[in-house]
Amino acid sequence: MDNPSFLYLLLFPAKKMMKVGKANNIYNRVQSLRRFWGEVDYEHSYRIALPQSEVFKLEKMLHFLLAKYQTGIDAGDGYTELFYIEALEPAIKHIHYVIEHDVINAQLQQGIEKPQISAGKSAAHRHRKMKKQSDAMISNLIRVTEQFSRINRLLLILLFKQHRLRYQYDIEENTVLFRIADNRTDQGETLKIMRMFSFFIEDFRYTGGTNYCSGACNKGTITQYTVQLISTDHDAHPLVAYLASQSERLFNKLPSRSSLLTEDLPILESGRILREILHSEGEA
């Protein structure tokens, strides 16, 4: 017989999202999720206890039925199982339906119970929690610093090889439209550069992520990156803001147009390129 497990509907009020997942210990699972998505509404979340095989089937069914409510978030712990908060009501209706029709033998319960911590263990628990937060903060600081190290290395390459590269950039409304003409366009390299500008910050007061590269598109030999100037983001984390101010000093030394160019590189409109691709696929 299967060991018991839980299917849960966890609500994250700050993000206005719900996660549909499974766990043997919901509270332990919450501790890892809240680092990405904030505090859980324990009182208004739901759980249902079932054998593991049935939990898996019910979870997959709900993911399928709630597909139109998916958030589209593409990173973070359990991001594929996140739905807009409006998915809660239909999720409950689907679960009640399978219960009423004897597909499963269980009851949906509201509320996620927190484990009771004895007074003698509470101090040690707080110490472990603070140490874990401290370790995570230091690891995060190192990771963000390494990201800016890679950004600076990229800027230095552009500075020292500017006479051998065909590039051009314009700044529109605090956004850099950087184009480079290269016959060896590498999708993997493009994604690697985009990830340089995606930052996840975690410390004692703040947890969240921001992506300053809103997209990359290419046409022919031209690849264009759309990057927001971090110095214009008044909500940027102080660590990111400081490191960005140093990187932008390097960027400001880079001429806006390569001396190799005989004519301007056109600004690419990503929306129009996407429409052209879809149109050509439709004709094929």
148-201 confidence digits (pLDDT tens): 999 999 999 999 999 999 999 999 989 999 999 987 667 778 888 888 898 888
Angle at 273 between CA 75 and CA 221, to 5 degrees: 95
Over residues 257-271, the mean pLDDT reads 86
Mean pLDDT of the chain: 86
Amino acid at 56: F
Asked if pLDDT for residue 242 goes beyond 70, the answer is: yes
Q: Which long-range contacts (CB under 8 A, 24 or more apart) does 37-43 make?
A: 37/12, 37/76, 37/77, 37/82, 38/12, 38/13, 38/14, 38/207, 39/12, 39/13, 39/14, 40/10, 40/11, 40/12, 40/112, 41/11, 41/12, 41/13, 42/111, 42/112, 42/113, 42/114, 43/110, 43/111
Average pLDDT over residues 137-155: 91
Q: What is the pLDDT of residue 190?
A: 84
Rounded distance between C-alpha atoms, residue 139 and residue 238, angstroms: 16
Supply the pTM of this predicted model.
Answer: 0.52
How far the first Cα of the chain sits from its last, in Å, is 52
What's at 280, amino acid-wise? S
272 confidence band (pLDDT: 50, 70, 90): low
Higher confidence at residue 125 or residue 177?
A: 177
Task: Say how far apart CA 213 and CA 95 lie, in whole Å.
Answer: 40
